[in-house]
Structure 1
């Protein structure tokens, strides 16, 4: 029941600017801890071993915080509040909608909005590239920001949720194959892959079930394997099939274009703000389906 209420609270309130402009968001605090470990441990030799130690320290921190919250004598309320804060349905929808709104004003506004949610180069994007990037982010973050946190909370309570979130944050900060982080971020990236193994496929299943695409499940599975990520390809492939569009494909990072293959390559390649709107509808449909499933489980 706590998770059900947390999903509803997050969907209603999201991340109130009046609150997080005055207090540091828990994700920001996690980021500071990760940055401190990166600064102090990511030096010299044995960086992979040091990265494993850093991940172990982050997990220990998550468990300690969970224990402190559980000790607050207010029943399930503290866990409910923390879970609602760490779920990201409303925030995801708001950020993706901002790209559609910006793109309707101008390509430049669309680029500025999408730069807030993707790490690739955006300066030379056309309207299709902006829309595609926003939809890919919507699909991937439906898994990372909603389904996966809910899955781990349902499975392992607040400790599971906090371990997932701090690992996912670490992966987003140090889990890159760059000269600085290829070794130090290896443990965070691999553990994040493991934690997302089931949720990513569950997200794809929810998208397929709610959009009548189960008959294309074999194609979704095949398309997911075309993606550079072992997990992100699943929700993107399901989203691409549901909207009948091509996702992924070539993109530029730090001035270098990488020729990634398309997911659902036979889908429509010319995209617009209307396609982003379609993706937002699927975000809410998936959220509602997950909520309904949890309610059924709770009553059973």
Structure 2
């Protein structure tokens, strides 16, 4: 079975089953296992001197280990489909984002509680608009690194490719922070994660671009907004989705009680996001997912044609 056809079935499997609680309440999710390994390495090796060198060595070990495990799993028939489906987190992303809309429709506090599950900023004092914007930003960013990037690296490198990406992405989320503890030890993981997400983030931007004459988008303005973002990659999907919805994203927010005056993405858009725009964002993500599914099917037919 070709890599593209395997991807087609994996995308379909994820869309149907998502992350079944009955399974992951009994077994550790692969991402959890990756996190445990990285957490152990952080405790064991992030001490004393030469932290940047240790971080580079850790990254190399993680890449080799995850790639080797991916190659072993790929040798077992059909297990590569199941594993890829597990590592592509589209349906669970939609469920988490929609939960914010459902919460807001019930009460502001329920919305805050739901959005706190998917963002790292302070949520206690958010108004309804800030909650909605945070959910939409999370949808854009996580569609890039939770769906498009895994799909891209699976097409490039098969199961070893997606395993390496998920391991590096997990390492970045755990130790890739500019804090005194992790600035050196997590430096290599953070920089390599930026590199692995460079192309997928821009592909996500293209998938989320608004279509139609009245919604024509100047790519220069998207690039300008993306360059203002604190992340070298997250600004691209945010800039596209904000324009598709006609709202402004990013902007001021608080982390650990401190206000951070981030620039607005799509500054001319509406600052007051509403619940229905969360649902619109989810619809947009499903449309982009459909393009990925169709692309995988076209590539599988093309591969079969070339081999015929």
1:59 paired residue number? 63
Find the aligned partners of 2:60 and 2:211 in 1 and give their Cα distance: 38
Q: SS in structure 2 opposite 1:286?
A: helix
2:54 paired residue number? 50
Q: SS in structure 1 opposite 2:124?
A: coil
Please say if residues 210 and 217 of structure 2, whose CA atoms lie closer than 8 Å, have aligned partners that are also in contact. no
Provide closer, same or farther for how the CA distance between residues 12 and 80 of structure 1 changes in structure 2, counting only shifts above 3 A. same
2:29 paired residue number? 25
RMSD value, Cα: 1.2
Q: SS in structure 2 opposite 1:196?
A: helix
Please say if residues 132 and 275 of structure 2, whose CA atoms lie closer than 8 Å, have aligned partners that are also in contact. yes
Find the aligned partners of 1:78 and 1:22 in 2 and give their Cα distance: 19
Kindly report structure 1 stretches of 4+ aligned residues shifted beyond 3 Å.
Answer: 209-215
Please say if residues 208 and 217 of structure 1, whose CA atoms lie closer than 8 Å, have aligned partners that are also in contact. no
Find the aligned partners of 2:80 and 2:301 in 1 and give their Cα distance: 21
* 1:99 Cα offset (Å): 0.4
Residues 118-133 of structure 1 mapped to structure 2, 5 A cutoff = 118-133=119-134
Aligned pair count? 297
Match of 2:12 among 8, 33, 43: 8
Find the aligned partners of 1:102 and 1:268 in 2 and give their Cα distance: 22
Q: SS in structure 1 opposite 2:205?
A: helix
Provide closer, same or farther for how the CA distance between residues 266 and 215 of structure 1 changes in structure 2, counting only shifts above 3 A. closer
1:281 paired residue number? 283
Q: Is 1:255 aligned with 2:266?
A: no
Find the aligned partners of 1:132 and 1:211 in 2 and give their Cα distance: 24
Find the aligned partners of 1:188 and 1:119 in 2 and give their Cα distance: 19
* 1:292 Cα offset (Å): 1.3
Provide closer, same or farther for how the CA distance between residues 211 and 186 of structure 1 changes in structure 2, counting only shifts above 3 A. farther
* 1:155 Cα offset (Å): 0.6
Match of 1:226 among 225, 228, 248: 228
* 1:61 Cα offset (Å): 1.6
Find the aligned partners of 2:18 and 2:116 in 1 and give their Cα distance: 20
Find the aligned partners of 1:209 and 1:167 in 2 and give their Cα distance: 31
Find the aligned partners of 2:167 and 2:116 in 1 and give their Cα distance: 23
1:152 paired residue number? 153
Consecutive unaligned residues of structure 2, counting only runs of 5 or more, are: 303-308
1:40 paired residue number? 44
Instruction: Please list the CA deviations of residues 151-203 of structure 1 after superposition, one character each: whole Å capped at 9, or x if unmatched.
Output: 00001101110000000011111111111111111111000000000000000
Please say if residues 204 and 234 of structure 1, whose CA atoms lie closer than 8 Å, have aligned partners that are also in contact. yes
Find the aligned partners of 1:173 and 1:23 in 2 and give their Cα distance: 21
Find the aligned partners of 1:239 and 1:34 in 2 and give their Cα distance: 32
Q: SS in structure 2 opposite 1:252?
A: strand
1:193 paired residue number? 194
Find the aligned partners of 1:248 and 1:29 in 2 and give their Cα distance: 32
Q: Which moved more, 1:58-67 or 1:192-201?
A: 58-67
Instruction: Please list the CA deviations of residues 197-227 of structure 1 after superposition, one character each: whole Å capped at 9, or x if unmatched.
Output: 0000000011116577554222212211111
* 1:95 Cα offset (Å): 0.2
Q: SS in structure 1 opposite 2:27?
A: coil
Instruction: Please list the CA deviations of residues 111-147 of structure 1 after superposition, one character each: whole Å capped at 9, or x if unmatched.
Output: 1101100111111111111111100000001100100
Please say if residues 220 and 237 of structure 1, whose CA atoms lie closer than 8 Å, have aligned partners that are also in contact. yes
